[in-house]
C-alpha cells in the first residue's frame, strides 16, 4: 500500500522529517479508523504504538540516546552551559539550585494532560519545551543525576459534557459525571473513553519520539500510590481550606470541599459538602444528593478524588515533582497549588508560565472555538522541527499561531541550522537547533528557502513537484529528491501551502506609468545579462534599476554612497508580477526561475496593463 511504501522510503533514506511525516500520517489514519490492518488482534499495551519502529526517537531522542551528547560532554561544555542565557538553561539552573538546598538522586519533570479529547498543538509545545529543559539540566549536571519525564493524564476527572466530535453521543450522555475511565468508549476500541484518549496521547507522544513515562490519575488513586498524600490532605484539611476559601466566590465557598467522593450508588464524581471528616479513620462523610442519606467513605483507594488545585498540589508532593511549566492563564492556580503543597509538607516544583497562543485576530486560541492552528494543519505545510522552533522562541511572549507564521518559521529553522557549524561552542548553546535536537542537530542541506519555493510555485502555477524540481535542478545541478530528501519534503509542503493560502488570495495590481517604465528597463537589463550571471549579479541589476524615483531611499545609502532603494520597489515587483505582497530576495528568485522566464513574466504583466 502507498503508506507502507512511504515507510520503507523514509527508513531507507534515513530522513527524520520523512519518518515523522509518516508517523504522523499513520497516527491520524489510526484516529480515523483507516489503518486497522496494522493493528494486532489484542489491544496495544501502554507503551506499544503502531508506528515505524525505525523512527522512534528520531526527533527528541530518548534518554539513552541523548547520552551521546551529554555523558561524553567535556567540562568546558558544562561550564559554557552555566554561563548560557538560553531559556532552557535558565530554567535548568533553577533545578540545580533547588538540589543544592535539598539534594536528591532523581529529578522528575511533569506535563499534564486532560484526556477529554485529541492531543493538540499545545500538548506538543509543553512536552517539547519540557524536554528541552530536561536536556539542559542533564548537560549542567554531566548527566550524573537520573531524570524522568512523567506525562500525567487526569483521567479520573468526571465527564462534564459530551464532545462534538465523537460517535454514540447518546450513550456518552448517559454517563455524564462519571470518571473518564468509567465511561464506555464511544469508538468501541478500548475499555473506556479515558483509556481510548490515553492511547491517543501515547501514540501522539511516541510519534515524535519523546522520552516519557505515562501515568494515569485513575491508576494512582486506585493503586494506593496517592493514599499517603491523601491522608495528609485529610489531616491538614483546615490548612487546605484556609488556602482555598479566599479564592472562591461566597456561594461556592459555603459548600466547597477539596474531596470529591465517587458515589458507590451511581459511580458519579460528586461535588458535595463534607459534613464530617475523621483523619484517624481516613474517612469523610457526605449527604447523598438524591437519597439524602449520609454516606461515609474512605478518602483512599480510589473512593475519592481531589478538586483540581488541591489535586495538582497533592500530585506534586506524592510523586516528588521537581519541574512543571504551565500557561499564563494558570498563574493564580500555580500559586494556590504551591501554597497547598507547602501546607502538605512538600515543595512547589520549579517552572515558569508560558504565554498563550493567539489567532489571526489576536484572540486566545480555544479548543472549543476551533480557532488558531491544529497539529494536522501545521504538519501539512511544514516539518515538526519548524514547529519546535516556534515553540522554542520567546515562550513568555504571546504569539500569533496562524498560517502566515509558517513560512518564516521554516526558513528561520534552516537559517539556524546552517549557522550552527560556523558558530563557537558558546554561540551554539544559544542556537535554538541545539535545544531542538538535544545537542546534536543534523547537517544543513537546504539549497533553497521555503519562501523561494512558494514564489516559484506562485510564478509558475506549478501544481506538481516535478515542475519545481525542474527549476531547482537547473539552479543547483546535482540536487535531486534522492540527494536532498528534506528539500523534497519541503517542496511538498510548499505546494500544499500555495494551493490552500496563496492561490486563493493572488491579486495582481496594475503598475503606474513610472512603474511601467521601471519594469521595462528591468526587462531589458535582465535580457542583456550573460547566461552565467549569478544570483548576486541579478540582484545588483534589480537594485540598480530600482535606484530611481519614487523608489529612492535617501536615508539608507548604498555601498557607493548614493541613495539606496526602498522596499517599495521590491514590493511593487511582487504585487505586479506575482500577485502577492511579499517574496524572497528577487535576484535569487530570478536565478532559480530562469532569466528568460522572468523576462516573460514582466512581458505578461506589461501586456495585462497595456
Among the residue ranges 58-67, 251-260, 517-526, the one predicted with the least confidence is 58-67
Angle at 334 between CA 298 and CA 232, to 5 degrees: 25
Dist CA 389 CA 379 (whole Å)? 13
Reduced 3-state DSSP string for 109-129: EEEEECCCCCCCHHHHHHHHH
The answer to which of 64-68, 338-342, 591-595 has the lowest mean pLDDT is: 64-68
**C-alpha–C-alpha distance, residues 96 and 223, integer Å:** 32
- Rounded Cα distance between 175 and 187, Å, is 15
67 or 369: which carries more pLDDT confidence? 369
Q: In whole angstroms, how far apart are CA 596 and each of 114, 205, 526, 535, 578?
A: 57, 49, 8, 14, 16
Contact (Cβ atoms closer than 8 angstroms) between residue 429 and residue 87: no
Q: Report the C-alpha gap between 329 and 337 in whole angstroms.
A: 14
Phi and psi for 306 in degrees, rounded to 5? -100, 155
Q: How far apart are CA 120 and CA 339, in angstroms?
A: 30
Q: For the chain, what is the radius of gyration of the CA atoms?
A: 29
Would the pLDDT of 516 be above 60? yes
**Partners of residue 269 on adjacent β-strands:** 262
Length reported for the chain: 610
* Three cell numbers written together for 529: 545579462
Q: Taking the model in full, what pTM does it have?
A: 0.84
Q: pLDDT at position 534, please?
A: 93
> What is the pLDDT, as a whole number, of residue 22?
56
Residue 109 · residue 171 · CB < 8 Å? no
Q: Which residues contact 220 (CB under 8 A, 6 or more apart)?
A: 226, 315, 318
Residue 370: the pLDDT is 57
CA nearest 541: which of 517, 561, 565, 557?
565
User: Cell 499561531 belongs to which residue?
Assistant: 401
pLDDT band at residue 352 using 50, 70 and 90 as cut-offs: very high
Whether residue 550 has a cis bond before it, omega within 30° of 0: yes
Q: What is the DSSP annotation of 173-202?
A: HTTTTSBGGGSPPTTSSSSSHHHHHHHHHH
User: Residue 57 above 80 pLDDT?
Assistant: no
Between 14 and 169, the higher pLDDT residue: 169
Q: What cell was used for 209?
A: 519520539
The cell for 591 is 536565478
Region 280-297: mean pLDDT is 97
Lowest average pLDDT, out of 36-40, 77-81, 415-419, goes to 36-40
Amino acid at each position: 500500500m502507498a503508506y507502507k511504501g512511504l515507510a520503507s522510503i523514509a527508513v531507507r533514506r534515513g530522513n527524520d522529517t520523512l519518518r515523522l511525516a509518516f508517523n504522523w500520517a499513520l497516527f491520524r489514519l489510526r484516529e480515523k479508523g483507516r489503518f486497522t490492518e496494522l493493528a494486532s488482534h489484542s489491544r496495544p499495551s501502554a507503551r506499544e504504538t503502531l508506528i515505524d519502529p525505525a523512527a522512534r526517537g528520531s526527533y527528541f531522542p530518548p534518554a539513552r540516546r541523548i547520552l551521546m551528547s551529554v555523558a561524553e560532554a567535556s567540562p568546558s561544555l558544562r561550564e559554557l552551559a552555566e554561563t548560557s542565557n538560553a531559556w532552557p538553561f535558565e530554567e535548568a539552573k533553577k533545578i540545580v539550585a533547588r538540589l543544592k538546598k535539598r539534594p536528591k538522586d532523581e529529578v522528575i519533570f511533569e506535563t499534564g494532560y486532560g484526556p477529554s479529547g485529541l492531543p493538540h498543538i499545545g500538548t506538543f509545545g509543553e512536552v517539547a519545551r519540557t524536554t528541552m529543559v530536561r536536556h539542559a539540566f542533564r548537560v549542567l549536571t554531566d548527566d550524573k543525576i537520573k531524570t524522568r519525564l512523567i506525562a500525567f493524564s487526569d483521567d479520573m476527572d468526571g465527564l462534564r459534557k459530551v464532545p462534538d466530535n465523537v460517535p454514540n453521543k447518546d450513550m456518552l450522555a448517559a454517563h455524564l459525571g462519571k470518571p473518564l475511565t468509567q465511561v464506555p468508549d464511544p469508538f468501541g476500541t478500548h475499555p473506556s473513553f479515558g483509556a481510548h484518549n490515553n492511547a491517543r496521547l501515547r501514540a501522539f507522544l511516541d510519534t515524535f519520539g519523546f522520552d516519557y513515562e505515562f501515568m494515569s490519575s485513575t491508576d494512582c488513586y486506585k493503586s494506593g500510590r496517592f493514599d499517603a498524600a491523601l491522608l495528609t490532605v485529610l489531616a491538614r484539611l483546615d490548612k487546605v481550606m484556609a488556602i482555598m476559601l479566599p479564592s472562591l466566590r461566597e456561594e461556592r465557598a459555603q459548600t466547597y470541599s477539596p474531596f470529591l467522593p465517587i458515589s458507590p450508588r451511581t459511580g458519579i464524581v460528586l461535588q458535595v459538602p463534607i459534613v464530617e471528616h475523621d483523619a484517624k479513620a481516613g474517612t469523610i462523610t457526605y449527604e447523598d444528593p438524591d437519597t439524602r442519606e449520609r454516606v461515609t467513605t474512605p478518602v483512599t483507594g480510589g473512593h475519592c478524588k481531589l478538586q483540581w488545585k488541591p489535586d495538582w498540589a497533592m500530585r506534586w508532593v506524592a510523586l516528588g515533582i521537581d519541574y512543571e511549566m504551565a500557561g499564563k492563564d494558570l498563574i493564580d492556580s500555580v500559586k494556590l497549588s504551591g501554597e497547598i503543597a507547602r501546607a502538605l509538607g512538600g515543595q512547589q516544583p520549579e517552572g515558569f508560565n508560558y504565554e498563550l497562543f493567539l489567532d489571526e485576530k489576536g484572540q486566545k486560541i480555544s479548543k472549543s472555538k476551533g480557532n488558531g492552528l491544529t497539529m494536522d494543519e501545521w504538519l501539512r505545510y511544514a516539518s515538526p522541527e519548524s514547529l519546535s522552533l516556534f515553540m522554542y522562541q520567546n515562550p513568555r511572549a504571546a504569539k500569533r499561531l496562524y498560517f502566515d507564521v509558517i513560512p518564516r518559521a521554516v526558513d528561520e529553522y534552516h537559517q539556524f541550522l546552517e549557522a550552527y557549524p560556523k558558530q563557537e561552542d558558546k554561540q551554539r548553546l544559544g542556537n535554538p537547533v541545539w535545544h531542538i535536537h538535544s545537542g546534536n542537530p543534523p547537517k544543513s542541506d537546504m539549497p533553497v528557502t521555503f519562501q523561494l519555493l512558494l514564489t516559484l510555485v506562485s510564478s509558475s502555477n506549478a501544481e506538481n513537484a516535478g515542475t519545481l524540481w525542474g527549476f531547482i535542478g537547473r539552479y543547483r545541478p546535482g540536487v535531486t529528491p534522492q540527494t536532498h530528501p528534506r528539500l523534497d519534503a519541503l517542496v511538498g509542503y510548499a505546494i500544499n501551502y500555495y494551493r490552500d493560502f496563496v492561490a486563493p488570495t493572488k491579486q495582481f495590481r496594475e503598475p503606474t506609468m513610472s512603474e511601467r517604465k521601471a519594469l521595462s528597463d528591468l526587462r531589458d537589463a535582465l535580457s542583456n545579462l550573460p547566461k552565467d550571471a549569478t544570483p548576486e549579479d541579478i540582484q545588483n541589476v534589480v537594485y540598480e534599476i530600482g535606484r530611481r524615483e519614487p523608489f529612492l531611499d535617501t536615508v539608507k545609502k548604498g555601498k557607493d554612497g548614493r541613495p539606496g532603494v526602498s522596499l517599495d520597489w521590491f514590493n511593487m515587483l511582487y504585487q505586479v508580477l506575482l500577485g502577492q505582497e511579499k517574496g524572497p530576495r528577487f535576484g535569487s528568485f530570478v536565478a532559480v526561475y530562469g532569466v528568460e522566464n522572468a523576462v516573460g513574466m514582466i512581458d505578461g504583466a506589461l501586456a495585462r496593463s497595456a
